[in-house]
Amino acid sequence: MKFLSVLFAAWVVKVSAHYTLPALIAGGVDTAQWLYVRQTNNWETNDPVTDVTIDDIRCYTSTESDTSSTATVTAGSTIGFTAPITLYHPGVLNVYMAQAPAGTDVADWDGSGEVWFRIYQITADTDGGETITFPSQNLAQVTFPIPAETPSGQYLVRIEHIALHVANVYGGAQFYLSCAQIEVTNGGNGTPGPLVAFPGAYTGNEPGILINIYYPIPANYTQPGPPLWTGAGGSSPPVGTTSTVTSTKASTTTTISTTSTKASTTTVSTTTTSSTGSSTGTTAAEYGQCGGQGWTGELLLSFFGSQAPLIKNAPDTGPTACAAPYTCHVLNAYYSQCY
Ligand SMILES: [Cu+2]
């Protein structure tokens, strides 16, 4: 009986967890769910795609009707997606577009082939190994411009949030994604690219997809995907393809006046992240961390022994209890979470 109730509890968590991106923002309007966005297989379960080699990594519509209405937007305008459940996992975000072949209605097109170019990202902020933050975490909507030089025509717009909380094993990264149908008007004469296919764009072994974000804290983060295209004929400079800290780094003088980087205090911008997942005092909040190597001071020296100097980068011991009514769940050796 106890076993059954444990099973049931796990099932409830599974259904209530995760998220989708079902609604387009266009013309400043939040449109209805699954109106301009193709209904994804996970519209009820919210489950992610974890296999980057299957067709569902494209638009996640293999068991759904596969089409929606097509929204008209002008080149250069801002569009976006809303998420009814916030993007609460730590992760990074990409937006891709793909133009339907000439003479093909985008509603009749599956987006296959090397047709996708990347127009927007929200990557991770790093500072050499002291901290890593995820500005897309906890967003309820994401907006971005359609590059003004995008040629007029019909497109799929694909948004993906790549959750990285259990990405330390192959196939652990969770892709929350959906595709909207748009018609771009008043377009430009750019040549979008470079172009990639889904599946094909990722192998799953990219340093930004197969990554332990907790320990040791990554010194930098490499955003998955081809270089961003933001207009003009070729690809733009690879803005943010590799990010180090872009936020203000305020060094404060300490009594340890050496050249060691440990003597500085880093202030990281938190303009977009809410504190939902943070810890407060001696207990962690909902979705906050409550355990894991480096968090509780435990270290697998047999594993990290060759990297002993990294131990000094281990975070201080954090809370191991959760604020009521949440309880601590072990997700992997490096991370336990309150929910
Ligand atoms: Cu989830």
Q: Are 312 and 262 in contact (CB under 8 A)?
A: yes
Phi and psi at 289, nearest 5°, equal -80, 140
Residue type at 273 in one-letter notation: T
- Using the 8-state DSSP alphabet, how is residue 103 labeled? T
Distance CA(159)–CA(142), nearest Å, equals 9
Å from CA of 262 to ligand 1 middle: 34
pLDDT for 67 equals 81
pLDDT for 289 equals 72
Q: Where is 306: in which H helix or E strand?
A: none
Å from CA of 48 to ligand 1 middle: 7
Distance CA(57)–CA(65), nearest Å, equals 16
Å from CA of 153 to ligand 1 middle: 35
Domain ranges of the chain: 15-251, 274-339
Å from CA of 298 to ligand 1 middle: 26
Tokens of 298: 């435990």
Å from CA of 323 to ligand 1 middle: 20
CATH node for 15-251: 2.70.50.70
Å from CA of 95 to ligand 1 middle: 20
pLDDT for 6 equals 45
Å from CA of 43 to ligand 1 middle: 14
Distance CA(58)–CA(1), nearest Å, equals 42
Which among 167, 293, 280, 180 is positioned nearest to 221, based on CA atoms?
167
Q: Where is 30: in which H helix or E strand?
A: strand 29-33
pLDDT for 323 equals 80
Å from CA of 18 to ligand 1 middle: 4
Å from CA of 175 to ligand 1 middle: 10
Å from CA of 21 to ligand 1 middle: 13
Å from CA of 161 to ligand 1 middle: 11
Distance CA(105)–CA(102), nearest Å, equals 8
Which among 205, 234, 235 is positioned nearest to 222, based on CA atoms?
205
Å from CA of 225 to ligand 1 middle: 22
Residue type at 270 in one-letter notation: T
Å from CA of 186 to ligand 1 middle: 39
Å from CA of 176 to ligand 1 middle: 9
Å from CA of 306 to ligand 1 middle: 33
Between the two ends of the chain, the Cα-to-Cα distance in Å is 23
State the CB neighbour count (10 A cutoff) for residue 123. 23
Å from CA of 102 to ligand 1 middle: 38
Å from CA of 47 to ligand 1 middle: 7
Which among 302, 331, 306 is positioned nearest to 214, based on CA atoms?
331
Distance CA(162)–CA(166), nearest Å, equals 11
Å from CA of 235 to ligand 1 middle: 33
Q: Are 226 and 194 in contact (CB under 8 A)?
A: yes
Phi and psi at 262, nearest 5°, equal -70, -10
pLDDT in tens, the chain (339 residues): 444 444 444 444 444 469 999 999 999 999 999 999 999 999 999 999 999 999 999 999 999 876 899 999 999 999 999 999 999 999 999 999 999 999 999 999 999 999 999 999 999 999 999 999 999 999 999 999 999 999 999 999 999 999 999 999 999 999 999 999 999 999 999 999 999 999 999 999 999 999 999 999 999 999 999 999 998 754 444 443 333 333 333 332 222 222 333 333 333 333 333 333 344 457 777 767 767 765 554 333 333 333 333 333 333 467 777 787 677 766 666 667 776
Å from CA of 17 to ligand 1 middle: 5
Residues with CB under 5 A from ligand 1 (ion): 17-18
Q: Are 104 and 158 in contact (CB under 8 A)?
A: no
